[in-house]
Each structure stands twice: as structure tokens, then as C-alpha cells.
């Protein structure tokens, strides 16, 4: 069956997605028309995933559809925004209906879960690449930025770190992992869970935040540079999964947790004056953020300690770098 561009859009994207009341005009015209409530600000983020760079040919299409939205929602979460709308630019080598069914399944699932609607985009022919622009809203002046950390603030992370990096290493036959651990960490690599609800609850509480996409150390350095502060991290507190601790040596596990990309957890700072509010906020959450250190007044200085002693990361483990090499564990 031959598909023209608009047939593809009508078949796979027009009617199958989450519908929001604030979308006056979505897919099907030259542009989308949405309503932004008075007193709110719009947050806009964009991420691209390219075949052979961010995923290989064995990556399930459903996972690609999920992840390209999840990585954008993770950016919105880091700023405290509520996801609202996404647009999609999809470049396809050819029309593969089985692939499209899986891709739109993953896209639809995550959009429905987080209540955001696909409102437009573009399709074209070429090497496989997927770009999503996501929009979110938040009360005026409440965005959590990278530039607000102050000396004395407490440093937190969510979830366990390094699992996606270990999954990628296992998939590339660079590391052996048990079947049980492999299933769990591959799920984290393919289907990350952006911390959307927590991000919104941190408005007015966190002094700075960033999502961990390129590795904890690489992303934390953006906060340190933007805020002109330093940090001291106790590696004893770093949240590690059983997959890491039962597969790797301690030093290897720490290196993965500190430098692997694709975690899509949040790293954020909380002032001492807000710590009681924060503790109350997360008291009944299933997975509580972990305090791993504190912000210092030494601009961009980062101290790592293990059992009270300085710990040095091997120089080869510095976090994900764009344009460095193909099939890296991040977007």
C-alpha cells in the first residue's frame, strides 16, 4: 500500500493521540492554535534522536516513540513545567507500517500518561531521525533554573544512576550482565520515566535543577558553572541499583553512576531554609530523592569523597559528549 505524506499523518498521528481542551486547532492546518492561561509562562524544549547515533537497528520502534517524548518531558520536569503539547518531525527512509505501528504506540502511551497532545510537525524522507519539540506551562516566574544554587544548599538526585549506561554496555557486549538484571536495566534504557510530578512540586522549593541526561557529573557541572558555585559529593550516598553493585566492582559502579548518560533523573539543590518543606513534600513518595552532598563556595570546584577520603574518577570517564562518537548513551 502506497502512502502519501498526508495519508501517513491521517493514518498514524491525527486521531490516535491524547486530546486536550486547550488545543483549539491541532494537526491538519498550517499551524496549531493553543490557549495559554493568563499568569502562566510557556517552556519550550527540543530533542533529536538519530539512527546509528542514539539508537541502533535493534531498538524497538515502541521504545523510540516513548523515549523521544520522555527525554523532552525530563527537560520540562527539571524546570518545574507541566507538559502540554508536543510537535514531531519524523524523517523516514521508507514507509514501514509495522515500525510506524510500534512507534506511534510508544508515542501515544507516554502522551496519554502525562496528558500532553501531539499538535503538529512534519514528515519527510531520508535517514531515520526523530525530533520532538515539547511545550509546558508553569506559573509566571516559577521556573527552576540552573543558576540559582547557593553555598550551603543540599544536593539531591532521584532514582538509581548508571543503569542505562550498563544496559548499553551489555547490549554492545562490553559488559556481561545476568538475565534478570539485563531485563530491568534495558527497560530503563528503552523506557525512561521522566520525573514530571516531582519537578512541578519542586517549584518554590528547589534553588536549581537539571535533568541527568549526559551523566551526573557532566550535568551537575552546568549547575556549578551557571550558579558560580562548587559541590562536595559523598559517594557513599550515591543511589546504586543491585544491577550495578552485583555486576561491577565498587569503582566501576561509581564510574557508571557518575558518567553514564540516559538516566533522565533529576539533580537539584534545596536551601537549608526549605529542607523541612522538602522533606514533608517527599515523605510519602515511593522513591524518595537522595541527598548526596552539598554546594560549596568554590566556583566550579567538585570534590568526590568515599568513606571520608578523596576519590578520583578515571580521566577517561567524563560523561557524554555530543559529536564525540556514534551510538552514545544519550540524546
Q: How does pLDDT run across 19-35, given as a tens digit for each residue?
A: 777 777 676 666 778 78
- Contacts of residues 55-61 at CB distance under 8 Å and 24 or more positions apart, as own/partner, are 55/327, 56/171, 56/327, 58/171, 59/190, 60/102, 60/106, 60/190, 61/98, 61/99, 61/100, 61/101, 61/102, 61/103, 61/105, 61/106
The position carrying cell 518545574 is: 80
What is the per-residue pLDDT for 25? 66
What whole-number distance in Å separates Cα of residue 269 and Cα of residue 227?
A: 11
Mean pLDDT of the chain: 89
> Rounded to two decimals, what is the model's pTM?
0.89
Q: Could you say which DSSP state residue 274 is in?
A: G
pLDDT in tens, the chain (331 residues): 455 555 655 565 655 566 777 777 676 666 778 788 889 999 999 999 999 999 998 999 999 999 999 999 999 999 999 999 999 999 999 988 899 999 999 999 999 999 999 988 888 999 999 999 999 999 999 999 999 999 999 999 999 999 999 999 999 999 999 999 999 999 999 999 999 999 999 999 999 999 999 999 999 999 999 999 999 999 999 999 999 999 999 999 999 999 999 999 999 999 999 999 999 999 988 889 999 999 999 998 999 999 999 999 876 554 554 444 445 544 4
Round the CA-based radius of gyration of the chain to a whole number and report it: 20
Distance (Å) of CA 38 to CA 136, 162, 330: 14, 41, 36
Amino acid at each position: 500500500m502506497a502512502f502519501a505524506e498526508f495519508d501517513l499523518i491521517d493514518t498514524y498521528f491525527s486521531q490516535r493521540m491524547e486530546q486536550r481542551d486547550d488545543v483549539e486547532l491541532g494537526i491538519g492546518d498550517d499551524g496549531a492554535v493553543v490557549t495559554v492561561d493568563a499568569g502562566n509562562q510557556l517552556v519550550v524544549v527540543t530533542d533529536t534522536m538519530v539512527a546509528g547515533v542514539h539508537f541502533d537497528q535493534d531498538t524497538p520502534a515502541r521504545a523510540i516513540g516513548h523515549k523521544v517524548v520522555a527525554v523532552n518531558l525530563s527537560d520540562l520536569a527539571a524546570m518545574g513545567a507541566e507538559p502540554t503539547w508536543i510537535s514531531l518531525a519524523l524523517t523516514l527512509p521508507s514507509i514501514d507500517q509495522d515500525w510506524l505501528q510500534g512507534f506511534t504506540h510508544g508515542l501515544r502511551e507516554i502522551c496519554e500518561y502525562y496528558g500532553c497532545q501531539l499538535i503538529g510537525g512534519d514528515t519527510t524522507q531520508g535517514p531515520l531521525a526523530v525530533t520532538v519539540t515539547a511545550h509546558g506551562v508553569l506559573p509566571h516566574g516559577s521556573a527552576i533554573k540552573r543558576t540559582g544554587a547557593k553555598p550551603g544548599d543540599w544536593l539531591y538526585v532521584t532514582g538509581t544512576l548508571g543503569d542505562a549506561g550498563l544496559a548499553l554496555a551489555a547490549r554492545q557486549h562490553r559488559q556481561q550482565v545476568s538475565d534478570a538484571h539485563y531485563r530491568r536495566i534495558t527497560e530503563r534504557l528503552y523506557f525512561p520515566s521522566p520525573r514530571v510530578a516531582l519537578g512541578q512540586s519542586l517549584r518554590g522549593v528547589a534553588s536549581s535543577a537539571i535533568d541527568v541526561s549526559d551523566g551526573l557529573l557532566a550535568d551537575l557541572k552546568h549547575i556549578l558553572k551557571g550558579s558560580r558555585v562548587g559541590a562536595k559529593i559523598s559517594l557513599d550516598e550515591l543511589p546504586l541499583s543491585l544491577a550495578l553493585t552485583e555486576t561491577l566492582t565498587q569503582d566501576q559502579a561509581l564510574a557508571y553512576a557518575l558518567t553514564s548518560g540516559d538516566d533522565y533523573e533529576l539533580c537539584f539543590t534545596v536551601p537549608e531554609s526549605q529542607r523541612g518543606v522538602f522533606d514533608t513534600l517527599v515523605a510519602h513518595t515511593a522513591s524518595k530523592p537522595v541527598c548526596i552532598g552539598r554546594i560549596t563556595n568554590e566556583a566550579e570546584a567538585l570534590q568526590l569523597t568515599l568513606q571520608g577520603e578523596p576519590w578520583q574518577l578515571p580521566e577517561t570517564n567524563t560523561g557524554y559528549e555530543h559529536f564525540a562518537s556514534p551510538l552514545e548513551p544519550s540524546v
